[in-house]
Amino acid sequence: MRDVSTAERAVPARGAGGARQTGRNQPKTRRVRKKFRVFSARGGMDLPFLFLILVLLVIGLIMMFSASYAYAYYHYNDSYYFIKKQGVFAAVGVTLMIAISYFDYHHLHKFAIPILLFSYMLLVLVRLMPSKTGVHRWISLGPLGQFQPSEIAKFAIVLVFAHLISLNFSRMGTFRYGVLPYILILGVTALLLIWEPHVSATVIIVLLGCIMLFIGGVKLRWFAAAFGLIGAGILYLVRFTKEFSYANTRIIGWLDPFTTASKELFQKTWQTRNSLYAIGSGGLLGLGLGQSRQKYLWLPEPQNDFIFAIVCEELGFIGALIIIILFAMLIWRGISLSLRAKDKFGMLLGIGLVVQVGLQVVLNLAVATNTIPNTGISLPFFSYGGTSLIILLAEMGVVLSISRTSSIEKT
């Protein structure tokens, strides 16, 4: 049977005399215009995913207040110093998350490269800022506080990788389209972060990029070569540069956090050692909410990277396990939603944002339990920080936007 083109189907049939048919029997053609929508008008957001986000956020705020009030009173004469700020950050973040969930994520295609370049500009700018404890990681906003450009860089990497991989999905097995542009992007980003220096953000971004490339179809042999080069670069920086010689001390302290070989090393492992004391003293059921001992100036800044140690001390193994399960459910649900997205861009973008949360959770827990050396990684929804919390909730809003077009059943 002959295939009839669209143009042929649009031509009205001729009658017996060769004239075109008119009147009621004449087929009608209608030109359909694509509507430009900024906000999604499709299905509703995924309620289980939203519920998990809000539950983790509420628990995180409670635990952040419990961990911080003694430190806040001692340093700021206000036990509510951190929770008041974090509450405002959470309110702004949730509002932004809901608004973004109605935004059509497909429009992010055209913002991928500009956002990446903007993040590079901020990473250069932050190096010009005054150092804080020997590093340049924060840009001051005056009375509004300060923020870390590395948080924007994480989102930029996920977005630009999802953008490029979706455009070149069928050519990801080649070096030109599947390896070269991503190596250049990761290389520039890593160099700017190392310049601060910010090793933990560098590790997260490199791992995140590799995971997205693996999902995108890059062959495994390229990963072996890449990790070999990265390992050689890290070894060179640690062994032969003054800027990263401190990593040797951290590795020695990681291998034996209870060492008394030197006063300097004993001070360097103070945080890790008291984190292990807190986790061990929590036992099965914990000491009770608000009953931590290590937060009374034994564990430095307990509201930040080592907040999980306070969680274990106050809620015990059972409470910590419930929180880990909630994180696992959030990541599983987010990946499920992303895998059922209607296009590759949505699938890659959603998986990248959810995997970023998973990586930070795993690495934070590993640092708190001394499984890996101390690298200063925050725990999502729990650790104090306005930039990380607001951007994290905004990213979850993007995943909720993807869920509106996902084929998964929404309950």
Q: What is the pLDDT of residue 1?
A: 41
- Residue 143 in this model has a pLDDT that exceeds 80: no
Contacts of 344 (CB under 8 A, 6+ apart): 165, 166, 169
Span 349-355, average pLDDT? 96
The DSSP element (H or E) to which 252 belongs, if any, is: helix 246-255
- pLDDT tens digit sequence for 37-85: 555 445 688 999 999 999 999 999 999 999 999 999 999 999 999 999 9
Measuring CA to CA, which residue among 233, 253, 277, 236 is closest to residue 374?
A: 253
Q: How confident is the model at residue 10 (pLDDT cuts 50, 70, 90)?
A: very low
* DSSP state string for 261-306: S-HHHHHHTHHHHHHHHHHHHHTTT-S-TT--STTTTTSSSTTSTT
Q: Which of 263-267, 271-275, 380-384 has the lowest mean pLDDT?
A: 263-267
Q: What is the pLDDT of residue 23?
A: 47
Domain residue extents for the chain: 42-403
- Residue 393 in this model has a pLDDT that exceeds 80: yes
- Alpha carbons 186 and 206: distance in angstroms, whole number: 7
- Residue 129 in this model has a pLDDT that exceeds 90: no
